Chains A and B, each alone.
Chain A
């Protein structure tokens, strides 16, 4: 039954890694986790190569297994130009998240590694599944490791934060589940067969525009809008991001948010063609407001982590501008910008953690002047800041530029409003960098655990690779666009 030369290895291998973690000595959990996630990346690239490195966007790898045929649920995996890069990003983010040293490798390290790989597996299932029920299960399963990570290794006052996160997400996904049931039922009425396959459901809704479908659209919209998050559904985010342990923050901002982006492109826009077009004005407006509103909150933030959290929301607003164009060009640009956002936000949180390891006081009310102490670290940090501000020559510029050029055709006004975010982005990112890097280092509170060393060794290699990726793909984004 199990065909190793198929997409299922992308789900099973991380799951095996998750179980194996319990048999690995506690002391080498980090080594094990990083090494395994590197293997998963290699495996992913190998498996997905025919799609990722194809010259057109038409290449697809499909794998179908019957699972519960009597109720129409199948294990139907599909790797194409939409899901391909998200799966690859998932593996990259896992490497970064597992690389950070911290309390999670001291307190219950096996549980941490195990949860992490479980998350990777669940995310891959969600990205690859072309069956909505299986997608839904994976989508819910993603919460479990997240909740535990925040609960166990997070900061104080976590119970409420976790609870809000859970509540918001759950609310959205319950509505999505109800919508899925409705769609399955609709298809059953038409064909007499139960199926939750994406393409069957697209067929079921093609050319239809009933009020019920609108409600279904809203169900899906809420689930994904909360996940991204899109204004005004971002309320849960700040507490969870800031209280979560750094690997969990990286996972959430870099890849979990993409689950929402992916959901819109994969499911919402093909299934609800009519509603999508009908609500396009509202959707673009919400995305534009997200960009500007979150940027204002970021300017106000005096805490590094919440500044980065809001900056992430602001940039995801740009991604959503591309998604809500509902055309292939806009969607391809949104995927491109998603790749940029994933790499940059993971990188910024990673760097923040490295600074935290060295210095205890990172408040943004005063300037710290750390750049003089850690020249290499702050050079890399600066490049990440520039990419985050979408400076031309970085991957994020290519993405943002292409997104906006497409959204301009859909709504000039929303594009111009979101353009203000380009200016505000410079305001808060420069403030962020300057307060940490510049000024005189009078407030040095060197963390005695790790000493005051500059960036070196493993971290230097990881961050250098990321910098090279941001610049290389900034000039060669073709691989993500494929002439769409």
Chain B
């Protein structure tokens, strides 16, 4: 067995489904969701088994030597730069690989049911496999360019899947927005690589971890890497693409925009933690941005009416928690939250998908209600996810979120302010999630009567992943490393559970018998106008700049100069009109004349050497 199986299995699935899709599309036939889905799920499950084996083999190694490495080939070698295409598995990447292949397999399986009515399921599954291939490259790559390959590759897959239904222009534009905002972050990644090469002379991750850089370089490098992370992981300032990304099929939102891709930023920061930690400025910025994002996005989530948008803002907010953990130097608790969040947020998204599926593409939570009886599996598993994200003991979120709250207060880089904002965000989380839960599954039904009759529970392919993730959301927190809790930590724990209970209680009281539609705060609903501001500043700005360049610089200066100089020579057109008329012989003559003229001119010139 070799490490490369981990990336080649999804690659095979991608190629198979890609060619299968093309073959069917060429003959205008519909590809089979069953064939393509089984292949795609099969390769992912096989990769998951490989990942489990490696996880076990890794745990058998001595603690300080837990590393597998496989060099596939040399990629770019020039001068002092030597970039190889090598996979490296250690405990950090092993955890990510388990999440990607494990949660990934479940979501592939779920998709077989969810996409069964779709026109081009083979295309969908090929993109999904492509995503997993790229994501695995991201976490297994042994050097920054290799990570960057995965980094941009997952962005590509995300673009393709958000705009999957490409006949809808809005969905395409949502994909485009995601891609371009990610590319803005990627520029930070690129420049960070240039800096690393200039000052370290290597882009290998192990070399970088060991490198000692001047404080100034460390800070600049760390900030650039973090800027790249704000793009991929949807943090302030580059977060506005994620709510729009909900245009994609719901399983995609679960896999890419909740469980895996958006956590790449945490992976990268943790991977480079020796450099990140070395600069207090960088840590402070990460912590501040993380906690602000956590709070602001939670506020925005409270004002959404679309079930997927609520979960999208919730994801941004939870990612903020993870960055907060990194910012206070507690990378391991950030990574722990990546794992529990992957379970419960994937579950919540898939549950939402099941609801949307049952209600025939209805996404407004004020047109749902009392679905508990009709969707028993969905509602029970959804409640498990709800309990986990609230951080109710003993569900998974309890362990990871409390660890972050505790670290934000007690770590050397933490402080009371970070803790208070984070706790307030936890309170808001409880509020908006309970609001969602109550409005969808409890209270009175506000479902469109026409759709009422057709409500049905999800098929088995969709129900199984829900149940597995439900169990994981319950027990996932026990996988973390446990330590003795001090009295102070117990206080924090108690406070956060009380806050969650309070938030949940308020929301329950407010929404249990809610009727009609809520008039939500437009400012919060639209993401505090950040999106609009970006649109008018950057999108319009780019348009205006290109307009100015075209009209003022290009037309008025460059082209006009050219036109004048043409006119000055005074031959404009006349000579060359000859070219267009006439026969073949005339053209031939002209070629001959031109050659002779140039030759003569040159050799006459050569004869004049001495006089020059």
Do A and B belong to a common assembly? yes
- Interface residues of chain A, those whose CB is within 8 Å of chain B, are 71, 73, 108, 110-111, 133, 136-137, 140-141, 144, 147-148, 151-152, 158-160, 162-164, 166-168, 177, 181-182, 184-185, 188, 194, 232, 234-236, 293, 296-297, 299-300, 328-329, 332-333, 367, 369, 371-372, 375-376, 379, 386, 391-393, 398, 401-402, 404-406, 408-409, 412, 415-416, 419-420, 422-424, 426-427, 430-431, 434, 437-440, 454, 475-478, 481, 483-484
| 4 additional A-B residue pairs with CB within 8 Å, beyond A71-B607, A424-B542 | A185-B612, A392-B151, A422-B187, A434-B176
From A232, which residue of chain B is reached at the shortest CB distance?
Answer: B558
Of the candidates A148, A181, A419, A483, the one whose C-beta lies within 8 Å of that of B77 is A483
Contacts of A416 in B (CB 8 A): 191
The reply to whether A404 and B190 form a contact with Cβ atoms under 8 Å apart is: yes
Contacts of A148 in B (CB 8 A): 579, 587, 590-591
Closest to B606 in A: A71
**Cβ of B546 and Cβ of A299 under 8 Å apart?**
yes
Residues of A within 8 A of B22 (CB): 375-376, 379
Chain B positions within 8 Å of A454 at CB level: 26
Contact A401 B580 (CB under 8 A): no
Contact, CB under 8 Å: B26 / A375: yes
Does B167 contact A438, Cβ atoms closer than 8 Å?
yes
- How far, in whole Å, are A104 and B76 apart by their CA atoms in the complex? 42
Contacts A296-B549, A300-B547, A438-B166; A401 near B76 (Cβ below 8 A): yes
Beyond A409-B198, A434-B172, whether A391 also contacts B156 by CB under 8 A is: yes
Cβ–Cβ contact A159 & B612, under 8 A: no
- Is the CB–CB distance between A438 and B172 below 8 Å? yes
A438 to B173, CA, bound (A): 10
Most buried by B among A160, A162, A300, A478: A300
- B residues 549-563 touching A (CB-CB < 8 Å): 549-550, 553-554, 557-559, 561-563
Q: In the complex, what distance in Å separates the CA atom of A222 from the CA atom of B156?
A: 40
| A420:B612 contact, CB within 8 angstroms | no
Partner of A133, one of B186, B559, B606, B610: B606
Report how far A142 CA is from B517 CA in the complex, Å: 72
Q: Is the CB of B587 within 8 A of A300?
A: no
Which of B78-86, B272-280, B476-484 binds A?
B78-86
> A168 — which chain B residues lie within 8 A by C-beta?
562
Asked if B271 lies at the interface with its beta carbon under 8 angstroms from chain A, I say no
B149:A478 contact, CB within 8 angstroms: no
Q: Would you give the shortest CB distance from B7 to chain A, in whole angstroms?
A: 12
User: Complex formed: what's the CA distance from A393 to B172 in Å?
Assistant: 24
Are A293 and B562 within 8 A (Cβ)?
A: no
Contact partners of A71 in chain B: CB under 8 A? 603, 606-607, 609
Residues of B within 8 A of A426 (CB): 179-180, 183
Q: CB-CB < 8 A to A420: which residues of B?
A: 187
Given A181-B612, A185-B612, A299-B543, A372 and B167 contact (CB-CB distance below 8 Å): yes
- Inter-chain contacts of B191 with A (CB < 8 A): 408, 415-416, 419
The reply to whether B77 and A481 contact each other, CB–CB distance below 8 Å, is yes
Complex-state Cα separation, A61 to B85, whole angstroms? 33
Q: Is the CB of B561 within 8 A of A147?
A: no
Can you offer 18 A-B residue contacts whose CB atoms are under 8 A? A133-B606, A141-B595, A159-B576, A163-B571, A185-B610, A296-B546, A297-B550, A329-B79, A332-B78, A376-B22, A376-B26, A379-B22, A405-B81, A416-B191, A438-B172, A477-B76, A481-B78, A483-B77
What B residues does A404 contact at CB under 8 A? 190, 194
Bin the interface of chain B by size. 35 or more
Q: Say whether A422 contacts B594, CB under 8 Å.
A: no
Cα A415 to Cα B554 with chains together (Å): 23
CB neighbours of A232 from chain B (8 A): 557-558
Given contacts A162-B579, A163-B573, contact A293 B549 (CB under 8 A): yes
Q: Are B542 and A299 closer than 8 Å at their CB atoms?
A: yes
Complex formed: what's the CA distance from A392 to B151 in Å?
9
Bitwise interface map of B from 24 to 47 toward A, beta carbon under 8 Å scored 1, else 0: 011000000000000000000000
User: How distant is the Cα of A167 from the Cα of B591 in the complex, in angstroms?
Assistant: 17
Partner of A160, one of B172, B558, B572: B572
Tell me whether A297 and B571 are in contact in the complex, defined as CB-CB below 8 angstroms, given that A147-B579, A329-B79, A478-B74 are known contacts: no
Q: Is the CB of B558 within 8 A of A234?
A: yes
Q: Are B78 and A329 closer than 8 Å at their CB atoms?
A: yes
Min distance, Cβ B564 to any Cβ of chain A, angstroms: 11
Chain B interface SS verdict (over half):
helix
B213 within 8 A of A: no
Q: Which of A297, A391, A420, A426 has the most CB of B within 10 A?
A: A426
Residues of A within 8 A of B558 (CB): 232, 234-235
In the complex, chain A residues whose CB is within 8 Å of the CB of B571: 163
Beta-carbon contact of A438 and B602 below 8 Å: no
Question: Which chain B positions have C-beta within 8 A of A163?
Answer: 566, 571-573, 575-576
Assess whether B576 is in contact with A475, with CB atoms less than 8 Å apart: no
Chain B residues whose C-beta falls within 8 Å of the C-beta of A328 in the assembled complex: 79
- Of B145, B184, B545, B580, the residue contacting A296 (CB under 8 A) is B545
Q: How far is the CA of A93 from the CA of B194 in the complex (A)?
A: 33
Residues of B within 8 A of A372 (CB): 167
With an 8 A cutoff between CB atoms, is B153 at the interface?
A: yes
With the chains together, A110 CA to B588 CA distance in Å? 12
* B491 sits at the interface (CB 8 A): no
Q: Which residues of A contact B566 (CB under 8 A)?
A: 160, 163-164, 167
Please name all residues of chain A whose beta carbon is closer than 8 Å to the beta carbon of B176 when the two chains form the complex. Answer: 430-431, 434
Minimal beta-carbon separation of B200 from chain A (angstroms):
12
Query: What are the residues of chain B within 8 A of A379 when measuring CB–CB?
Result: 22
Q: Which 6 A-B pairs have the closest CB atoms?
A: A375-B25, A151-B579, A408-B194, A392-B149, A296-B546, A300-B546
For the complex, what is the distance from the CA of A372 to the CA of B166, rounded to whole Å?
Answer: 9
Contact A422 B602 (CB under 8 A): no
Q: Could you say which residues of chain A place their CB within 8 Å of the CB of B563?
A: 164
Q: In the complex, which residues of chain A have a beta carbon less than 8 angstroms from the beta carbon of B186?
A: 422
Measured between beta carbons, the chain B residues less than 8 angstroms from A393 are 149, 153
Best-buried of A136, A371, A412, A430 by chain B (most CB within 10 Å): A430
Distance in angstroms between the alpha carbons of A477 and B195 in the assembled complex: 23
Residue A437 contacts which of B166, B546, B612 (CB distance < 8 angstroms)?
B166
Cβ-defined contact, B553 with A398, below 8 A: no
Residues of B within 8 A of A367 (CB): 169
A371 & B542 in contact (Cβ 8 Å cutoff): no
Output the least CB separation between A431 and chain B (Å). Answer: 8
Q: Are A483 and B562 in contact (CB under 8 A)?
A: no
| Whole-angstrom CA separation of A367 from B167 in the bound complex | 10
A111 to B75, CA, bound (A): 45
Q: A158-B580, A296-B549 are in contact. Are A405 and B193 (CB under 8 A)?
A: yes
Q: Does B148 contact A (CB under 8 A)?
A: yes
> Measured between alpha carbons, how far is A296 from B565 in the docked complex, in Å?
25
Known: A300-B549, A329-B79. Contact between A136 and B152, CB under 8 A? no
B569 within 8 A of A: yes
> Is B598 part of the binding interface, using a Cβ–Cβ cutoff of 8 Å?
yes
Out of A136, A164, A235, A423, name the residue touching B187 (CB < 8 Å). Answer: A423
Any A CB within 8 A of the CB of B287: no
Once the chains bind, are A185 and B609 in contact (CB under 8 Å)? yes
- List, in ascending order, chain A residues with CB within 8 A of B194's CB: 404-405, 408, 412, 415
Q: Quick one: given A454-B26, A481-B77, are A181 and B190 in contact (CB under 8 Å)?
A: no
| A415 smallest CB distance to B (angstroms) | 7
